[in-house]
Structure formats: C-alpha cells, structure tokens
A and B are shown apart, each in its own frame.
Chain A
C-alpha cells in the first residue's frame, strides 16, 4: 500500500473517531436523542424485573462492614424545620404516611421502633461507582403500608425529605424526593431505617429516617424522610420524573 493511501486511511480514522465524539456531544444536546437513548431504561427494567423477581439482595457479615459509611449528596440539612428537630434529638419528629391510603398515619420514632424491626448488612452502590457496606436496622416499608392500607389506584410510594439541594436559587434549593414502585415497596429488604451500624442514624447518613431499597443505586435511598406519600402518578411532583436526580436526567429505574 502506498504511503499516501496509508496517510489517507489514518486521517479518515482520526476524523471518524473525533467526528463520532463531537457528534455524540451535539446529539446529547438535542431533545430527541436522550429520549431515544432513555428507552433502554424501560428495557433494562423489564428484563431485570423478569430475571430477578423478588430475589433478595446479598447480605454480608459483620466483618465486611466498611469502617466509614461514606455520605454523599446532602450531609447536613439547614432548613429551620430540620434544625429544630435535630436540636431536640428528633424527639418531636413525626413521619406522616398519606396520599392515596385508607388510613393516613403519623409515627414518632418511638412508635416506629416499636414495630417489628429488620436488621440487614448490605452493600450500598453509588451511581458514581463506589460501594460501601453497612448494617441497617429499621421497619419494613411493607409493614407501614399494611397499616395505612393503600387505595386501589395508588401506584407509587413517594419519599418526601427535609433536605434541599442547592440549585443556586434564593429559595434555599429544591426539595429532595424519591419514589419507587410497589414491587420495591413490598420487597422484604425495603426499610425505613433508623439505625446504621448499631447506632442511631447519624445526620450525614440521613437522620432520623432514611429509605433502604437494596436493589437500587444510592440516589434512590432517600435520606431525612419527612413523609411517605402514595400517589397514582409522578407527573405533578417536582419536574415529574419521580425524584430529584431523575429530574436532573438520571434514570428512575436505578437497578443498574
């Protein structure tokens, strides 16, 4: 092969490679390409649900627990409501369970602790790629839901949180929230957790109450939960994508 042709081929490959990368950047800025790419989420969810059904997340031993349970996202909420609850060691805290339920409920931490607890040592996988292992104690969400009795048209469980994510606005930021479907809500390892590694949940890890949805990524594990709300649709909450990070473009199904 002539050196001309070799140079041509090398240039063509470089242009193709650089062009592909630049093209992907431009396509990412359109509305339709991210939408089309996002269809993979539906496929992943459907296939993974069919393959795993109600299988339990792996549980570990005491020896596997991470020395420090790394905290991410909000680690110290500053809303007046939260600060006043924290000052009093969350003695005045109430979890409300409402929305599409037959019996709207309200629990103190003491009342939640009085319900049969579950303890599990599980792995927490952050969407960034790292993993830590911790021991959680809490009440199964299914028990709380059984007491509240969801109505027939309820399809999602929404977690309302005390923390606000800084978005540069003057209103103190956007409230954090998350949501899950009923398959995860009734999964035996889905907890409203009040203890981490044998101690009351530290503030940086979500005191006084956080969600554990063990087969999904970290951003689904809502911290600083103030209310559990049952809804028929996620459209009218936040930007309508089912969670704070979902509204920033992350997948609602965070099982991968």
Chain B
C-alpha cells in the first residue's frame, strides 16, 4: 500500500468528475495482489459462513448461557404461537422481553408458504430448512476462512503490511481525537493522507482481523465435543459450551456490523476509486495544489 509505483494523470475517465485545473490526480498502487486475493476469498467465506451459520442456528433457534441448555430460560429464542384470532405469529424473546416478529423471525415466507423458522430463508444457506447441507457449507468455508486467515497473518507479519500499513504510528495515536471527529462528520482524508489507512481504520482492521477472527473460530471449536476434550479450559473460561455458542452468534453479528460500516465508508469515500483499488490495486489520489499557483 502507498507504494508509489505509478504517478500519472488519471487515465481512467469516469472514475470521478474531471479535476479542476488546479488539481493533480495521481494514481498509486495501494493494495498488493496477495492482499486483494485474500480480501475477496475472505469476503466470500464470511457471506457463506453467515448464511450457513444462520441455517444451523435455525435447527434450534435459541441461545443459552452456561454449559447446558436451560430450555425454559433462553437468552434469545425465536418461535411461533397462535394469537387470539387463531393466527400464527412469529415471536422473538430476548431475556424477559417478547416481540412480535412475524414475517422476519419465527414465522416467515419460504417459497410462497408461511413457515415456522428462526431466520427467514433469504438469509440462510441453503434457503429451505436443511441442517445437514448447512453444516457442509459451514465447515468447508470455515476451513477456507482459517487457512486464508493464516496466510494473511503470515503475509502481514513477515512482510511489511502489518508494521507499515496496519500498526498505528505515534502520530496516528496523537491524531485519534481528530480522526473520530472526521469520521463523525464524514470528512475523509485527501491527498497524501488518503494513501494510508487512518488511525480508526487501522484499529478496526486490527480488532476485526486479529480479534474477532480468531475468537469466532475458537468459539466454533469450543462447540465441538471432540475438541472440548482438549479445550476444556477455554469452554470453562467463557462459561460453558452454550455460552461459546452464544458468543459465536454475537461475533457473527459483529462481523455483519463491521461489514455494514466497511461498505458505508467505501460508499462515502469514493466507491469507484475504493472498489477499483481492491480489485486492481490502483487508487487515485486527488491533490489540491495550492502552492504551485
């Protein structure tokens, strides 16, 4: 990233409005090929893991805390019940609160029929209730996610990517307050600063890649009865196997939250340019040239 292998006028017409005469547009090589490949493998993995994970969740759409399931006291449960007019309603229970979630959670449309299910079919892989197939997708892509993750960690830590691009510098830390304000006002770095990740971006990537990633895999492994014969300490640390399942579920939604913010930031900071840089590596920098007038 930020390797200036090319400085040229913006040859790609249509990327952004024509620059003003006083501006100079420079195209830099922002994302190296291995990072781009691993980014997209990871994106596919996360989508499949989420869809198939929700399919697996739907086999028993309830969450608990502890070693075992306390069926009468779930943390979260999706189900269905008949209302006073004998109509089926989808009901979601969170702790002691109950919500009518007909059409989304508990009862939803599957292939033109109202079905009793946790998450709706448009969110699950496969769409219809099919636990064994969901497990096949999930475990295959879980391995791909883990192998891809190890490859990224090896690449980032042995090369310069981690130290040079991801680790916040002293200057970064000093500017964190300003970066928070900038993000809140949707102000994005311009010129040379746009070539680097900003400090909040660095911290988010570090937390998601080296925090959420390993943690969600560990919580998945803590659900495995075979692995629990050697991971007992971890299972106990988080409060039990059902706690691990709950944390795994919460982390999955933490990834979704990251995804939404990630896409939002891409949209507001120049979707065409950002998208091109993660596909081809090339990223255009718009510089305001006040001093050369």
A residues engaging B (CB < 8 A)? 1, 5-6, 9-10, 13, 17-18, 20-22, 24-25, 28, 34, 36-41, 43-44, 48, 51-52, 55-58, 60, 64, 66, 68, 70, 123, 125-133, 214-217, 245, 248-251, 255-256
Whether, in the assembled complex, B130 has its beta carbon less than 8 Å from a beta carbon of chain A, the answer is yes
- Whether A123 touches B226, Cβ cut-off 8 Å, given contacts A28-B126, A250-B132, is no
Listed by A's residue number, 19 A-B pairs whose Cβ atoms lie within 8 Å are A21-B124, A22-B127, A24-B51, A24-B126, A25-B128, A39-B140, A41-B139, A44-B143, A58-B228, A58-B229, A125-B223, A129-B245, A131-B68, A214-B225, A215-B225, A215-B228, A248-B132, A249-B132, A250-B132
Q: A52 to B232, alpha carbons, bound, how many Å?
A: 12
Apart from A28-B130, A130-B71: 20 A-B pairs, beta carbons within 8 A? A1-B270, A1-B271, A13-B263, A25-B125, A37-B139, A39-B140, A40-B140, A43-B143, A44-B143, A48-B227, A51-B227, A57-B229, A123-B67, A123-B241, A129-B56, A129-B59, A130-B64, A131-B69, A217-B225, A250-B131
A120 nearest CB across to chain B (Å): 13
Chain B residue total in the interface (Cβ 8 A): 52
Beta-carbon contact of A256 and B125 below 8 Å:
no
- Whether A250 touches B225, Cβ cut-off 8 Å, given contacts A40-B140, A60-B67, A64-B67, is no
Contacts of B160 in A (CB 8 A): none
A219 nearest CB across to chain B (Å): 10
Beta-carbon contact of B271 and A40 below 8 Å:
no
Beta-carbon contact of A44 and B139 below 8 Å:
yes
Beta-carbon contact of B230 and A52 below 8 Å:
yes
Q: Give the contacts of B33-81 with A (CB-CB under 8 A).
A: 44, 47-48, 51, 56-57, 59-60, 62, 64, 67-69, 71
A33 nearest CB across to chain B (Å): 9
Q: Give the contacts of B236-293 with A (CB-CB under 8 A).
A: 241-242, 245, 263, 267, 270-272, 275
Question: Mostly helix, strand, loop or mixed at chain B's interface?
Answer: helix
Q: Give the contacts of B116-152 with A (CB-CB under 8 A).
A: 122-128, 130-133, 135-137, 139-140, 142-143
Q: A130 to B241, alpha carbons, bound, how many Å?
A: 9
Beta-carbon contact of B267 and A9 below 8 Å:
yes
Whether, in the assembled complex, B183 has its beta carbon less than 8 Å from a beta carbon of chain A, the answer is no
Contacts of A256 in B (CB 8 A): 139, 223-227
Beta-carbon contact of B224 and A58 below 8 Å:
no
A48 nearest CB across to chain B (Å): 5
- Whether A127 touches B59, Cβ cut-off 8 Å, given contacts A1-B267, A9-B271, A39-B140, is yes
Contacts of B44 in A (CB 8 A): 20
Q: A66 to B69, alpha carbons, bound, how many Å?
A: 8
Residue among B47, B51, B142, B227 with the highest chain A CB neighbour number at 10 A: B227
Contacts of A40 in B (CB 8 A): 136, 139-140, 142-143
B287 nearest CB across to chain A (Å): 18
Contacts of B223 in A (CB 8 A): 125, 256
Contacts of B64 in A (CB 8 A): 130
Contacts of A245 in B (CB 8 A): 132
Residue among B123, B140, B226 with the highest chain A CB neighbour number at 10 A: B226
B175 nearest CB across to chain A (Å): 25
Beta-carbon contact of B68 and A132 below 8 Å:
yes
Option from A37, A64, A130, A131 in Cβ contact (under 8 Å) with B140: A37
Contacts of B115 in A (CB 8 A): none
